[in-house]
Chain A
């Protein structure tokens, strides 16, 4: 088992670098955890939008307006600082800024139809939503101003609020339905793809780099071990490495999503990631056989993993990606791994995704063997 032992030694030497990649995965996962969406609600809940209202006036009209808006909006306190407002709008922390001009109430009551100044992200759904509610309040009040001349502010406010009190009955199609409940486990397993690919490709290529050095290759082919045995031990070692990486990353994912462990989907995620690890190992072999030089390997590994992860929906949900991008992505096992995960999340059948990944694993492996054989026959590097 000389070859196997040697491989283990090389792995040990590269341990610090590998630890960094695992660290990156943990950090990304923690960030995603803090960004995770709030728990889903059962039944129909009206959406609330964050808005800012600037007003120097306090009249029944303005107070009533705020009261009506509070059904659909959360008021955010903010300094009147243009830069801050714009940044908050750009980063979608708030969706709507409303400014009540001085003398608004007076002008309104005398039927002048004054205007409120609003600032929102142009064309956003949230903005339209607030608009509808706001215009409804002001229009109702305006009808009273015109329909009942001389109406005083308090009565106006009371009438308007009473009218707006009615709510349309809303029924859910299935009362027990839960919405958008993709648990977080799916996401942790998706991110795992990035780290796993990177670590496995880098690890395998690093060993191959050592073995493929011309002088070392020549020296080892003089050794009294058959080439078949060398290859076998070599594969065993890399397989062990992939398995350990897979095991570490899956354990981490499971730790992060520990409150979903009891779910029926957990075994599915584990099986899917295992199959993905096998196809990644094959890709690692292929890249290790194709590329020369340490710098070149890290370049290829970076671009390949980042690229396939971006277009396959590891970082950005597949739903957002365009069809042509997804078509391109379907040429990578990562795509099938991610779609497998989303099928598992809704307890759908994911055998197709599994089979395609296995197909990729076999195809890349055979390709790697062919390339490796050709390389071995070459006289020079």
Chain B
């Protein structure tokens, strides 16, 4: 009996093009758009060499030697262009340089906008001026000491990274997307309940007359849905990892386990809505899409800051939103060295799955109809 129901259910589901589209093609398309749109996002905050125009009105060899240090080496801070004053103005106006440094006894800076690169230029010039003053003061105390002093800057900070992983902001969009795809699996769950409750479809009315344990029939056909969802999710993951080159860290086994749990919660969520909500299929579909979208939104799929905002302003909401739990599980797996946060998320998802499936069971079991 298992083989019969399972195999035919698979066939039926695979021919449902709309279902396959929304649960697989749509997430893949969305991932493609994300990748195209956010491809350059990871680099937007990272450091690039700053282009600077240099105008010498008075020779200042001491300053020039310091500047040379900043432009040489493996990670130069500035790229210099020595130019005349009018040429510098043109370069600045056309946006080819971030600022013009005018060298005379003391330096001055000319910019045309207030930004972080301009600020770095200013801090650099300030720094030179400050060291000059310090040297002057020490010389006043004891010129001999100054002659012997080493002005090479000492590094007083050391990096203590919080995580071994790269802080690529793009990833949170993809995590939320996978979570959304898992929860689109709720369409399968809804379909399963519709096909087992005699008052919801003709096929279910027919099935209820068959000499077959209802729970078994329900479980077998749900298993077919679950298998298809898992295969779809694996294809989505393969697309993300192999074609779009999204980095999920080195715990791929746990990532896949997370997808198994997430898909389970997704399907049971669909069953839950279908059995709890009175109304026709359009209402239920609308509710499913609405709930999934709202959940994805709060999990940061549209704007990543929303997820963080929820965390700060309404921390309870992040645990009540299964989509966020799922997205956060991926996030925790990738960024955190400890697994506590990951386990909390997975536990939350399992609790949701049990509640959804349990309620569905209570509604579906032992229904008898005098007429449908």
B123→A136 contact, CB < 8 A? yes
Say yes or no: is A381 at the interface (Cβ < 8 Å to chain B): no
A320→B114 contact, CB < 8 A? no
Tell me whether A87 and B111 are in contact in the complex, defined as CB-CB below 8 angstroms, given that A47-B116, A92-B169, A113-B154 are known contacts: no
Interfacial chain A residues near B341, Cβ < 8 Å:
83
Interfacial chain B residues near A166, Cβ < 8 Å:
126, 129-130, 133
Q: B92, B114, B120, B133: which contacts A132 (Cβ < 8 A)?
A: B120
B335→A147 contact, CB < 8 A? no
Tell me whether A133 and B21 are in contact in the complex, defined as CB-CB below 8 angstroms, given that A121-B45, A321-B40 are known contacts: no
Whose C-beta in chain B lies nearest to the C-beta of A44? B114
Taken residue by residue from 220 to 233, chain A's Cβ proximity to chain B (1 for < 8 Å, 0 otherwise) reads as: 00000000000000
Say yes or no: is A355 at the interface (Cβ < 8 Å to chain B): no
Interfacial chain A residues near B145, Cβ < 8 Å:
147-148
Most buried by B among A87, A128, A170, A322: A170
Say yes or no: is A89 at the interface (Cβ < 8 Å to chain B): yes
Say yes or no: is A1 at the interface (Cβ < 8 Å to chain B): no
Say yes or no: is A259 at the interface (Cβ < 8 Å to chain B): no
Chain B contacts with A in 119-165, Cβ cutoff 8 A:
119-120, 122-127, 129-131, 133-135, 137-138, 141-142, 145-146, 149, 151, 153-163
Say yes or no: is B351 at the interface (Cβ < 8 Å to chain A): no
Chain A contacts with B in 140-160, Cβ cutoff 8 A:
140, 142-144, 146-148, 159-160
Whose C-beta in chain A lies nearest to the C-beta of B38? A316
Whose C-beta in chain A lies nearest to the C-beta of B115? A47
Whose C-beta in chain A lies nearest to the C-beta of B92? A173
Q: How far is the CA of A129 from the CA of B112 in the complex (A)?
A: 19
Whose C-beta in chain A lies nearest to the C-beta of B163? A86
A44→B146 contact, CB < 8 A? no
B151→A143 contact, CB < 8 A? yes
Interfacial chain A residues near B109, Cβ < 8 Å:
168-171
Say yes or no: is B359 at the interface (Cβ < 8 Å to chain A): no
Interfacial chain A residues near B36, Cβ < 8 Å:
310-311, 321, 325, 328
Interfacial chain A residues near B156, Cβ < 8 Å:
113-116, 134-135, 138-139, 142
Interfacial chain A residues near B146, Cβ < 8 Å:
147
Q: How far is the CA of A311 from the CA of B29 in the complex (A)?
A: 12
Residues of A in contact, count (CB < 8 Å) = 87
Say yes or no: is B254 at the interface (Cβ < 8 Å to chain A): no
Interfacial chain B residues near A147, Cβ < 8 Å:
134, 138, 141-142, 145-146, 149
Q: How far is the CA of A117 from the CA of B160 in the complex (A)?
A: 6
B122→A180 contact, CB < 8 A? no
Say yes or no: is B89 at the interface (Cβ < 8 Å to chain A): yes
Q: How far is the CA of A172 from the CA of B158 in the complex (A)?
A: 36
A143→B157 contact, CB < 8 A? no
CB distance from B90 to the nearest CB of A (A): 11
Q: A88, A143, A296: which contacts B149 (Cβ < 8 A)?
A: A143
A123→B155 contact, CB < 8 A? no
Whose C-beta in chain B lies nearest to the C-beta of A315? B37
How many contacting A-B pairs (Cβ < 8 A)? 239
Chain A contacts with B in 86-102, Cβ cutoff 8 A:
86-93, 98-99
Q: How far is the CA of A35 from the CA of B25 in the complex (A)?
A: 31
Interfacial chain A residues near B137, Cβ < 8 Å:
144, 159, 163
CB distance from B42 to the nearest CB of A (A): 10
Interfacial chain B residues near A121, Cβ < 8 Å:
45, 167
- Report the stretch among A196-204, A270-278, A301-309 that lies at the interface: A301-309
Q: How far is the CA of A11 from the CA of B71 in the complex (A)?
A: 66
A303→B141 contact, CB < 8 A? no
B149→A146 contact, CB < 8 A? yes
B138→A144 contact, CB < 8 A? yes
Say yes or no: is A126 at the interface (Cβ < 8 Å to chain B): yes
B167→A89 contact, CB < 8 A? yes
Q: How far is the CA of A325 from the CA of B38 in the complex (A)?
A: 11
CB distance from A32 to the nearest CB of B (A): 9
Whose C-beta in chain A lies nearest to the C-beta of B141? A148
Say yes or no: is B117 at the interface (Cβ < 8 Å to chain A): yes
Tell me whether A91 and B111 are in contact in the complex, defined as CB-CB below 8 angstroms, given that A117-B160, A311-B37 are known contacts: no
Interfacial chain B residues near A310, Cβ < 8 Å:
33-34, 36-37
Interfacial chain B residues near A92, Cβ < 8 Å:
45, 169
Interfacial chain A residues near B60, Cβ < 8 Å:
none
Say yes or no: is B308 at the interface (Cβ < 8 Å to chain A): yes
Interfacial chain A residues near B307, Cβ < 8 Å:
91
A134→B110 contact, CB < 8 A? no
B336→A86 contact, CB < 8 A? yes
Tell me whether A170 and B41 are in contact in the complex, defined as CB-CB below 8 angstroms, given that A122-B166, A134-B157 are known contacts: no
Query: Which A residues are within 8 Å of any B CB, using their own CB?
Result: 28, 31, 35, 41, 43-47, 72, 82-83, 85-93, 98-99, 113-126, 128-129, 131-136, 138-140, 142-144, 146-148, 159-160, 162-164, 166-174, 177, 179-180, 295-296, 299, 302-303, 306-307, 310-311, 315-316, 320-322, 325, 328
Leading 7 A-B pairs by shortest Cβ distance: A147-B138, A91-B308, A310-B33, A173-B112, A168-B125, A295-B18, A138-B156
Q: Return 27 A-B CB contacts under 8 Å, by A number.
A: A28-B302, A31-B302, A41-B114, A72-B123, A82-B162, A86-B163, A86-B336, A91-B304, A113-B154, A114-B156, A115-B155, A117-B157, A121-B167, A125-B47, A128-B47, A139-B154, A143-B138, A144-B137, A144-B138, A163-B130, A168-B106, A168-B126, A169-B108, A295-B18, A299-B21, A307-B33, A315-B37
